[in-house]
């Protein structure tokens, strides 16, 4: 739970684990959630809170915790602003670790680019080979025509389209 300024009111152990902090580090009513996020996630987080307040519905964004060293996690944060009464509103945030999914998506994009490059190379090779084969058929027809003009039998059997 957060207040509308993004200050943590309550946090569970799972969220602490995802954010890479001990529960004792979080002081309810004092610790801003944005302080537990990587710098590049600050704008995304505040945008998430703003959108949740504007639409009064659940919204989501990808954020990164500040502490995860060489293997940073990617979290999907789902937020909704809840209004208990006219004077009390707070945000509920659900965090999901989507690191593996994002890495798999990046790998799929990389493999897709590799396959597109291979396909382009194969298409170029196919065009060259087919063009060469068509030219060979054309030359065989010319040789056969010259043979018939000279009264000789055709040297090549008729292949392909005439």
pLDDT in tens, the chain (162 residues): 888 778 898 899 999 988 888 889 999 889 998 888 988 888 888 888 888 877 667 788 898 898 766 678 899 988 887 666 666 667 788 899 999 999 999 999 999 999 999 999 999 999 999 999 999 999 999 999 999 999 999 999 876 555
**By C-alpha distance, which of 59, 39, 35 is closest to 47?**
59
**CB neighbour class for 75 (10 Å; exposed up to 12, middle 13-18, buried from 19):** buried
CA distance linking residue 49 with residue 81, whole number of Å: 8
Q: 2, 9 in Cβ contact below 8 A? A: yes
**By C-alpha distance, which of 45, 39, 38 is closest to 65?**
38
pTM of structure: 0.62
């Amino acid at each position: 739970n957060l207040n509308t300024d993004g200050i943590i009111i309550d946090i569970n152990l799972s969220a602490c684990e995802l954010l890479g902090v001990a529960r004792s580090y979080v002081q309810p009513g004092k610790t801003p959630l944005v302080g537990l996020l990587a710098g590049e996630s600050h704008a995304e987080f505040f945008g998430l809170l703003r959108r949740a307040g504007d639409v009064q519905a659940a919204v989501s964004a990808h954020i990164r915790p500040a502490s995860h060293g060489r293997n940073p996690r990617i979290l999907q944060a789902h937020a909704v602003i809840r209004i208990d009464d006219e004077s009390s509103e707070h945000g509920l945030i659900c965090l999901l670790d989507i690191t593996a999914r994002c890495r798999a998506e990046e790998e799929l994009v990389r493999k897709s680019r590799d396959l597109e490059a291979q396909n382009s190379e194969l298409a170029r090779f196919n065009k060259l080979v087919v063009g060469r084969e068509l030219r060979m058929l054309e030359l065989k027809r010319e040789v056969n025509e010259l043979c018939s003009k000279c009264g000789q039998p055709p040297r090549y059997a008729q292949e392909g389209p005439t």
